[in-house]
Structures are given as C-alpha cells and as structure tokens.
Chain A
Amino acid sequence: SQQGEEDPQALSIQEGENATMNCSYKTSINNLQWYRQNSGRGLVHLILIRSNEREKHSGRLRVTLDTSKKSSSLLITASRAADTASYFCARGGSGGSYIPTFGRGTSLIVHP
C-alpha cells in the first residue's frame, strides 16, 4: 500500500497568513492530487501534479512535489476564513493502480 502521512494534523492561523500543509508517501507515484473538504460535504479537487512536475499554481494555491523525498506541499497564500476546511492529499499510480490513496488530512482553521 502507499501509506503516507499529512502534517500537521491541524493548523490554526489568522486571515491573511499563509498556510502550508505537507504530504509524504512511500512508493513511487504517477501523480499526486490535493482535495478540500468542507465540513459535512464531499471532497473537491484542487490540483493534480504529475510525477515529472515540480510545481503547479492555481490562484492562491501552490503545490510542490519532490519525488526524491517522496513529499508534496500545499501552500495557500493570503488565507481567508472561507479556506477553513480539511485538506487531503491523494497519491497513486504505483503498479498501475487506478485508485488514489487518501491520507487523514490536515484540518485548517482560518480565523477572521
């Protein structure tokens, strides 16, 4: 399996600050995805980064991937109260698996 960890488990910041979340994994991957989940809702896809990419941006989101360290980070710049949610990384593709493996997530609280 491709067990990994996200850290921190919880993050509490003030509006306007940046939030950084990390994700590690143990086996090779085709890609890594980040999702957001608001309380009581389904997951929403944020960004997919392929194993041959090192960085991707989408609005205030920046994702990096370091395959040598088997880790990825999600940076949210200038955070807003509406960014309060849980953030999950999903990695997969090793051995031809179609199924992403989700971590336990980072719970982000942005105080207004």
Chain B
Amino acid sequence: NAGVMQNPRHLVRRRGQEARLRCSPMKGHSHVYWYRQLPEEGLKFMVYLQKENIIDESGMPKERFSAEFPKEGPSILRIQQVVRGDSAAYFCASSPVADNRGPYEQYFGPGTRLTVT
C-alpha cells in the first residue's frame, strides 16, 4: 500500500509564476489536509478537503491560493502569482476518517519544497 505521494518534491518558480502542488492520498483515504512549514517552525494548517468538497479553508490565504480534490485524480494546491514569501515546504496528509471525535492519525507525504526566486 503506497503511502501519501507528493510531487514535485522540489519546485522553483520565479516571482509572478504559478505553482501547482499535487498530492495523492493513501489508498482508501478520502480526507486530505494541506500544511505549510517554514524553516524551524511547526506546521500551519491551510485547508482540509474531502472528495469534491472543501471542508475547511480557514488557514489558506484568500488571495492567490486555491485547492481542489476532484473525484478522480490527486488533490491540487495552486498558488498563483507567487511571491518570495511563499517559499516554504508544503505538506499533504491524509486520513481514512474524520469526525467530531477526532482528529485522527494523519499520514504525511514527503512534502514539496517551493522556492520562489
């Protein structure tokens, strides 16, 4: 059973370009979470999605950032018109279940390291 997969592992973009980060959850997991991590800091929650639905996007900037988890295919985190402050590691995690008795164990991908030049 493959783990959570993210690609690309490293992404370099110039200011103003678009960045697309992809995440394939573990098989059987329908709950996906995106986090951002700056050096020497913890993970900051960005968005929580289920198939075809954004459940909680309270941690995601309102402008330039968007996320989707289509019925088929990976979840995508899209950053438009990147700026240097977007440089960070972006992690995706998945879980098999989510309810108000949670949160439950999350399985993390290896991350995408975005560098904006």
Tell me the A residues contacting B by CB distance below 8 Å: 30-31, 33, 35, 41-45, 48, 88, 90, 92-93, 96-105
Select B41's contact among A31, A42, A98, A104, beta carbons within 8 Å. A104
Kindly list chain A residues whose C-beta atoms are within 8 Å of the C-beta of B103: 30-31, 33, 90, 92-93, 97-100
A35 to B33, CA, bound (A): 16
Question: Can you identify 18 A-B contacts, CB atoms within 8 angstroms?
Answer: A30-B102, A31-B102, A35-B108, A42-B93, A43-B43, A43-B106, A43-B108, A92-B102, A93-B100, A93-B101, A96-B100, A98-B98, A98-B102, A98-B103, A99-B56, A101-B45, A103-B42, A104-B42
Contact at A98–B109, with CB atoms within 8 Å?
no
CB under 8 Å from chain A, chain B span 92-113: 93, 98-111
Known: A90-B103, A97-B103. A42 touches B111 (CB 8 A): yes
A45 to B98, CA, bound (A): 16
A101 to B59, CA, bound (A): 11
A101 to B106, CA, bound (A): 12
A48 to B103, CA, bound (A): 10
A97 to B102, CA, bound (A): 7
Tell me the B residues contacting A by CB distance below 8 Å: 4, 31, 33, 35, 40-45, 48, 55-56, 91, 93, 98-111
Contact at B101–A99, with CB atoms within 8 Å?
no
A103 to B37, CA, bound (A): 11
Shortest Cβ distance from residue B1 to the other chain A in the assembled complex, whole angstroms? 15
Contact at A43–B99, with CB atoms within 8 Å?
no
A7 to B70, CA, bound (A): 40
Q: Which residue on chain A has the smallest CB distance to residue B31?
A: A98
Q: Which residue on chain B has the smallest CB distance to residue A91?
A: B103
Q: A30-B100, A33-B103, A102-B44 are in contact. List 13 more A-B contacts (CB 8 A).
A: A30-B102, A42-B108, A42-B110, A43-B91, A43-B108, A44-B108, A88-B43, A98-B56, A98-B102, A99-B45, A99-B48, A102-B45, A104-B42
A103 to B4, CA, bound (A): 22
The 4 closest A-B pairs by CB, nearest first: A42-B108, A96-B100, A102-B42, A102-B43
